[in-house]
Amino acid sequence: MGKTIIDSLKLNRQTLRLIALLIIHCSLVINYSFAQSPYALKTGREVTLLGAGAVALGASVALSHTIDPLTQTEINALNPNDINAFDRKAVYRWSTTADRLSDVTLVGNVALAGLLTVGTKPMRQDIKTVAVMYLETILLASGIERTIKGVTQRTRPYVYNPAAPLDEKLTRDARESFFSGHATNAFATAVFTSEVFRHYFPHSKLKPVVWIGSLGLASATAVLRYEGGLHYPTDLLAGAAFGSLVGWGIPKLHEVKDKTKLGRRLDIQPWSNGPANGIYMRLAMFSR
């Protein structure tokens, strides 16, 4: 009889251990399932932002068709000394290789944003919110940047460079230098990616890596546009500043202001004081 009771106690303790392990596992799942996005979408706001971006992009397309390409006579009359000293050295740059590489680094930045979204569970489960915010970022950044190009109609640096082919200089695009679209989109993507990652993973040690990696790619894009003879330093600085502002502003606009609404935490843990075993549960509000 005594042996049966001891065996039964041993079995109960083993069962309790298994139950405790199961509860710990379930608590981790529950903790995650209770968590919500650090961002919130609102129909009216999203329609307004997407609409504004679409209108700006449409206006930029219309303006681009009003640009009259330079004639050969006008090109021959261009004088590099008419350009301010800070920008002047850009006219001596021309490289089709740098031009193509700038596309690669820009795509790499976008790919990094996509990989982080798909490759991390919190962002992947919230992919609709991240995707909508990124679309708003790119539409607004590109639309406004391209509209300003159509208004300013600044001649690109390579137009002054005898090494650049004439057919490149006779296009509408040759008068769309200010400000850089590549720099705008690259820095908008870099700051957006880093900010969003920071909010989803506030305690991650990878935050500096994401910032350095994304901004490094964006900076490489800007440098390559300069080396390609496609932009002046002021074009690139303006694009970087404006893109960074939009990339920071869109996530900030969607950020949940009341952090207590981000989720609840159900904490379930086993306890033991020697002869007795059990579990306790605690439901607490938390912020991510």
Residues 6+ apart with CB under 8 A from 220: 105
Q: Which domains does the chain have, with CATH numbers?
A: 42-61+83-262 (1.20.144)
Residues in the chain: 288
For 258, the token pair is 């009341």
Contact 286, 259 (CB under 8 A): no
Q: In the prediction, which pLDDT does 288 show? A: 42
Choose among 220, 215, 224: nearest CA to 243: 215
- Dist CA 19 CA 272 (whole Å): 13
Chain position carrying tokens 């650090």 = 38
pLDDT tens, residue by residue, 98-156: 999 999 999 999 999 999 999 999 999 999 999 999 999 999 999 999 999 999 999 99
pLDDT tens, residue by residue, 174-212: 999 999 999 999 999 999 999 999 999 999 999 999 999
Tell me which amino acid residue 125 is: Q
For 229, the token pair is 């003879």
Q: In the prediction, which pLDDT does 21 show? A: 41
